[in-house]
Structure 1
């Protein structure tokens, strides 16, 4: 009996030592609920409906007959979005929740919506439409595009710096060459005129007006347009396309990390089950030993037969 008790007692600490803490954090049932397609579809429909009634109210003005009803539903939607944030916070836990940038984005949008509710400042009411930005965080495809843009931000900033240098050099040259022409009297006017030329706004009219006094102005205009409008601006497209193409690789890497985490959780569950089976087997052995001892004691105490 003593040996069986000792074995069972030794198995329990070993099993407890192998069990790892929950790495995900939060409440499991809420995590399942917030990640279900039913909950996510409901939130997506609420965002779309909220955007629709805001557009209707803005189009027809505060004098429309549904204005008071729209204001009431705006409050309902705000409460729904707040409840969503609370549920996701409880489901994910504090550390995991704040590590997700989209969660912080949702909190900021909802907080701004509460500020926009203040009726004392009418200008703040326009901030209600910012709530529609939550459509980006609710749709995975939109999230990927925004994440690709942010990942391409260093390249975009570098390309923008090159474009600024090109415009500055062009503005200095244009002011020096065409100072007496309209739109080129100073550096600021030249920069604005060159920017309009890169958008092909009045491109032909500008060349004709400059050619009257500067016959070779078309050489400078065409050269600048080719460099700024076609070469440098296309760099933006190239940087963004590269980032979008790299986005699936990043998603694949994140998916592999999630698979590894799930594999670790499955391994933990298997270890826990094995430990529970070991404890159960030891308990059964102890019970059998107890039954044998009780039977032996009863046999020893039984009166002798006549």
Structure 2
């Protein structure tokens, strides 16, 4: 129900506001009702889950969004199960308190646009993983090459290229094009002038090819998902319009049948008189279902206007032709009479 969805969206948004207010220590000192508000919101979430499960208990567990809601609800109950004063639960308590923000993700299940976006991201995972694997192989090759060229502890840049881990981290900075000029300056200071070709080749392959390829794959899938979402909305609007037309046609047929029945049961009224009474109940704003354009009132009005214009044009032409024929006949007579 749209009302139920609106209520749940409002409650989730209110929960987000409470979570944001809890991060301010001054507000927590003034307000002490956060725990009570959290209990009320969790009880509403539990009622929502039970309602959905009651409506469709079999298909409830087939939806990934419902499973996610159950997991979030279980996490929300953990702070009330663990004892925060126990030293064993000190670190888990902090982690569970931070994970409470996952409750805001319940908003995704109530937004078709967000669900469409999540579906598109899920479809891109496989392709993006392949691109990332190729990127990792490229980084692995260049990391070993960079370690051999610039990783010497005496003459090279051992901080950035001294081992495989630091070389991979340096290449990750080059892939994201973040601070690559500083890394190149370090190599230039140590006399590695040919390192510029190494940096340029890796940035061209890593950033402009593989990194942008993964972004392009995501954008293409999101675009396809958006187009499918728009087509679904258009189909739903057309279905709603057809249903509305059918309802109007059915109502009009029922009214006509009622008039026919009144004519049969009436002794003195004719159908035209019944229609005259029916016309009085009509308004200019009443909808009219028309199957073809030629049955619409604007088309008929335009067609009749065109016929009037044709009549106004055809009559003078006929008179002109008649006068020309008469003049031609007179000319023939004069030629015959002439000697």
**Structure 2: 5+ residue stretches without partners:** 85-92, 237-339
Higher relative contact order (CA 8 A, sep 6+): 1
Q: Secondary structure at the match of 1:94?
A: coil
- For 1:50 and 1:65, the matched residues in 2 are separated by 18
Offset, 1:62: 7.8
Q: How many Å separate the matches in 1 of 2:98 and 2:80?
A: 10
1:146-186 Cα distance to aligned partner (Å, 9 max, x none) = 11101111111111111111110110111111112131011
**2:106 match:** 134
Alignment partner of 2:58: what SS? helix
For 2:177 and 2:76, how far apart are their aligned partners in 1?
40
| Corresponding residue for residue 297 of structure 2 | none
Change (3 A) 1:193 1:56: same
Distance 1:219 1:252 in 2: 47
Q: How does 1:109-128 map to 2 (within 5 A)?
A: 109-118=72-81, 120-121=83-84, 122-123=93-94, 124-128=96-100
Matches within 5 A, 1:84-163: 84-91=48-55, 93-118=56-81, 120-121=83-84, 122-123=93-94, 124-163=96-135
Q: How many residues align?
A: 223
Question: Please, which of 169, 177, 192 is the counterpart of residue 214 of structure 1?
Answer: 192
- Pair 1:242 & 2:220 matched: yes
Conserved? CA contact 1:57–1:64, under 8 Å:
no
CA distance in 1, matches of 2:68, 2:134: 31
SS in 2 for 1:172: helix
3-state SS of paired residue (1:107): helix
Structure 1 residue 58, shift from structure 2 partner = 1.3
Gaps in structure 1 of 5+ consecutive residues: 1-35, 259-306
Q: What's the counterpart of residue 48 of structure 1? A: 13
Is 2:21–2:27's contact at 8 Å kept on the other side of the alignment?
no
For the aligned residue pairs, the C-alpha RMSD in angstroms reads 2.5
- Write out per-residue CA displacement over residues 197-226 of structure 1, whole angstroms, 9 at most, x where no aligned residue: 222332212212212321111000011011
- 1:76 maps onto 2:48 in alignment: no
Q: Which residue of structure 2 aligns with residue 191 of structure 1? A: 168
Give the 3 Å change call, closer, same or farther, for CA 198–238 of structure 1 in structure 2: same
After TM superposition, give the deviation of residue 257 of structure 1 in Å.
Answer: 11
Higher alpha-carbon Rg: 2
> Does the 8 Å contact 1:198/1:228 carry over to 2?
yes
Distance 1:167 1:61, change over 3 A: farther
Distance across 1 between alignment mates of 2:79 and 2:231: 39
| 1:64 maps onto 2:56 in alignment | no
Is residue 181 of structure 2 the alignment partner of residue 225 of structure 1?
no
Q: 1:207·1:217 contact (CA, 8 Å) conserved in 2?
A: yes
Residue 138 of structure 1: CA displacement?
2.1
CA distance in 2, matches of 1:116, 1:156: 37
CA distance in 2, matches of 1:223, 1:175: 16
Say which is worse superposed, 148-157 or 135-144, in terms of deviation.
Answer: 135-144
| 1:268-279 matches, cutoff 5 A | none
